[in-house]
């Protein structure tokens, strides 16, 4: 096949045409040709693929560590009053067109990307009802899926893996609806943050111009600005220990690079349901 035909992603109108074509299939089609590894930019495909690169995950881990150290030294100069350690569920909204194309072609479901999240929050009270906070969180999830309508001639699935990692640093203002030292205090909060994110997709993918199968990859790593709101309940058991339960929604979109040319900004928004311990100082 002329490699010039495989240079970039096809435009969105072609994607819509192919999606319609796939939706009409009533059985799994068999793929007979398999080709060696090529980079994503060499192919003209509708369904993209990416690769999970361990070295990049190491970079993300180093960034997380550096951000945590920076947050520690920042709070060291303030009269610390409260640290919240939280765990919970992170549920991405997945509302951009890249997500939608993957839903149309691959057999995974939206809830498959729901996974655990860890968060560490420093809170500085400056009024009986008001405080400022800085919070860091970490989410990562990898899932393996296969094409809904296609398989190899031996009946084996055509597999792909998707990986999403988000490390956030957020700050904002929290309002305690009851005085800060109350045993039970509902709260609401809002603020902004930076979201260090990485998306990868890799495995076997189909070139819909000739229905050959290739090993391919694409990935994107960037920083996005976002906003959040949250609310919950603080319960104070002793002078130094309490419990926190909260729900948070953040909104952010990340710009995609050349591997994903033609796609709109990638949806990073999510709902987080968290619970944890509060340590008062």
pLDDT tens by residue, 30-74: 443 444 333 344 443 433 333 333 444 445 556 666 666 665 555
- Look up residue 103 and give its two tokens: 């839903």
**Mean local confidence (pLDDT), 182-211:** 92
What's phi and psi for 35, nearest 5 deg? -120, 160
Q: Which residue has the higher pLDDT, 106 or 207?
A: 106
On whether residue 11 sits in a domain, the answer given is no
259-271 pLDDT, tens digit each:
888 899 999 999 9
Smallest CA-to-CA distance from 229 within 256, 180, 190 is with: 190
Residue 68 parent element (H or E) = helix 54-76
Q: Which pLDDT does position 194 carry in this prediction?
A: 97
274 pLDDT tier (thresholds 50, 70, 90): very high
How many structural domains compose the chain? 1
240 pLDDT tier (thresholds 50, 70, 90): confident
113-168 pLDDT, tens digit each:
999 999 999 999 888 889 999 999 999 999 999 999 898 888 899 999 999 999 99
63-119 pLDDT, tens digit each:
666 666 665 555 555 554 899 999 999 999 999 999 999 999 999 999 999 999 999
On whether residue 68 sits in a domain, the answer given is yes
CA distance 12 to 15: 5
Identify each DSSP E strand in the chain by its residue range.
29-31, 34-35, 82-92, 115-125, 130-152, 157-176, 184-207, 212-236, 241-254, 266-267, 270-280
CA distance 90 to 268: 11
Asked if residues 193 and 228 have their Cβ atoms less than 8 Å apart, the reply is yes
Domain span holding position 171 = 51-201+219-280
3-class SS of residue 260: helix
pTM score, whole prediction: 0.74
Kindly report the CATH number assigned to the domain that includes residue 125.
Answer: 2.40.160.20
**Mean local confidence (pLDDT), 244-268:** 94
On whether residue 235 sits in a domain, the answer given is yes
On whether residue 3 sits in a domain, the answer given is no
């Amino acid at each position: 096949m002329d490699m010039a035909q495989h240079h970039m992603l096809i435009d969105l109108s072609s994607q819509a045409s192919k999606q319609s074509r796939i939706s009409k299939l009533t059985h799994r089609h068999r793929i007979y040709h398999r080709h060696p590894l090529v980079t994503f930019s060499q192919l003209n495909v509708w369904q993209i693929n990416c690769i999970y690169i361990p070295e990049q995950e190491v970079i993300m881990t180093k960034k997380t560590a550096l951000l945590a150290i920076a947050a520690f030294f920042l709070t060291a100069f303030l009269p610390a009053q409260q640290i919240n350690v939280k765990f919970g569920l992170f549920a991405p909204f997945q509302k951009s067109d890249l997500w939608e194309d993957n839903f149309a072609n691959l057999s995974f479901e939206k809830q498959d990307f729901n996974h655990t999240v860890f968060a560490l929050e420093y809170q500085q009270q400056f009024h009986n009802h008001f405080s400022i906070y800085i919070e860091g969180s970490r989410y990562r999830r990898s899932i393996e899926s296969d094409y809904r309508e296609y398989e190899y001639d031996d009946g084996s699935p055509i597999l792909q893996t998707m990986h999403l990692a988000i490390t956030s640093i957020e700050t904002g203002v929290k309002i305690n609806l009851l005085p800060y030292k109350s045993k039970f205090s509902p709260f609401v909060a809002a603020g902004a943050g930076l979201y260090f994110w990485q998306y990868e997709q890799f495995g076997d993918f189909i070139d819909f111009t000739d229905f050959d199968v290739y090993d391919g990859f694409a990935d994107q790593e960037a920083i996005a600005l976002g906003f959040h709101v949250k609310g919950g309940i603080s319960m104070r058991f002793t002078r130094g220990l309490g419990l926190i339960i909260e729900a948070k929604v953040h909104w952010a979109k990340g710009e995609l690079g050349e591997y994903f040319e033609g796609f709109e900004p990638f949806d990073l928004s999510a709902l987080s349901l968290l619970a944890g311990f509060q340590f008062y100082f």
